[in-house]
């Protein structure tokens, strides 16, 4: 009886810990969630076309931000995957970093996913989704999600008929502001 009670107690304690076994980050590339990005790194000194990936020759070389809306900035030179060309957008809530979107080329999905595995371990969930476009063509996308107490990281191989994938870092600060 004592053994069963001890095992049950251990299960109640360990199961939730195993669900959050990955090391949940409190930052994205050194930019802490819950801190104002515009105070953490400098504003870009020169105008940069908003759709320009960070690795192009014309992009700024230093980490900086470019305002696109009151609560959104493009981040330059903070992309996480070395030479994979990425577009990084940060969304703030009350001047606090709440969400980061990293857009990348879908053919780079295996490389990006392996980078995430190396950083955070095995995802909490994985899935494959298929949807039909207006043209009748079908698209399939792979997804993976890491669920933490305050942060959810998700990756999708494709998010539209364009060959673009996305990683979302969503904190508990942004969740009340997301559409249902």
- Say which range, 26-40, 45-59, 110-124, 158-172, has the weakest mean pLDDT: 45-59
Share of the chain above pLDDT 70, in %: 76
Cβ burial of 95 (10 Å; 0-12, 13-18, 19+) is: middle
Q: Which two tokens stand for residue 93?
A: 């809530």
- Indicate whether 153 pLDDT > 80: yes
DSSP 8-state code for residue 44? P
88 contacts 78 by C-beta, under 8 angstroms: yes
Q: What is the mean pLDDT of the chain?
A: 81
| Residue 13 placed within a domain | no
**How many beta carbons lie within 10 A of that of residue 57, not counting itself?**
5
pLDDT digits 0-9 by tens, 96-152: 999 999 999 999 999 999 999 998 999 999 999 998 888 888 888 999 999 999 999
Total of domains in the chain: 1
Task: Give the residue numbers spanning the domain of 169.
Answer: 23-177
- How many Cα atoms sit within 13 Å of 56 on the Cβ side? 10
| Residue 4 placed within a domain | no
Residue 10 pLDDT grade (very low, low, confident, very high; cuts 50, 70, 90): very low
158 contacts 165 by C-beta, under 8 angstroms: yes
Please report the pLDDT score of residue 14 as a whole number.
39
- Indicate whether 56 pLDDT > 90: no
- Indicate whether 15 pLDDT > 60: no
Cβ burial of 146 (10 Å; 0-12, 13-18, 19+) is: buried
Hunting for tokens 């942004």 — which residue is that?
174
- Indicate whether 83 pLDDT > 90: no
DSSP 8-state code for residue 42? P
Residue 60 pLDDT grade (very low, low, confident, very high; cuts 50, 70, 90): low
Q: How many residues does the chain have?
A: 180
Whole-number Å distance between alpha carbons of 32 and 36 = 8
| Residue 3 placed within a domain | no
| Residue 28 placed within a domain | yes
Please report the pLDDT score of residue 82 as a whole number.
61
Please report the pLDDT score of residue 4 as a whole number.
47
Please report the pLDDT score of residue 176 as a whole number.
79
**How many beta carbons lie within 10 A of that of residue 17, not counting itself?**
8
Whole-angstrom CA distances from 65 to 6, 28, 54 are 53, 14, 11
């Amino acid at each position: 009886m004592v053994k069963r009670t001890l095992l049950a107690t251990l299960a109640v304690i360990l199961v939730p810990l195993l669900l959050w076994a990955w090391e949940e980050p409190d930052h994205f590339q050194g930019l802490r969630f819950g801190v104002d990005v515009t105070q953490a790194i400098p504003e870009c000194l020169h105008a940069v076309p908003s759709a320009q990936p960070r690795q192009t020759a014309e992009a700024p070389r230093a980490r900086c931000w470019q305002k696109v809306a009151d609560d959104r900035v493009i981040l330059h030179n903070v992309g996480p995957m070395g030479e994979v060309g990425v577009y990084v957008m940060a969304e703030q809530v009350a001047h606090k970093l709440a969400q980061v979107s990293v857009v990348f080329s879908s053919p780079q999905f295996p490389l990006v996913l392996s980078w995430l595995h190396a950083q955070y371990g095995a995802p909490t969930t994985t899935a494959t989704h298929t949807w039909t476009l207006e043209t009748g063509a079908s698209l399939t996308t792979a997804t993976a999600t890491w669920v933490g107490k305050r942060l959810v990281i998700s990756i999708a191989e494709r998010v539209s008929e364009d060959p673009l994938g996305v990683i979302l870092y969503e904190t508990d600060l942004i969740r009340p502001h997301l559409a249902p």
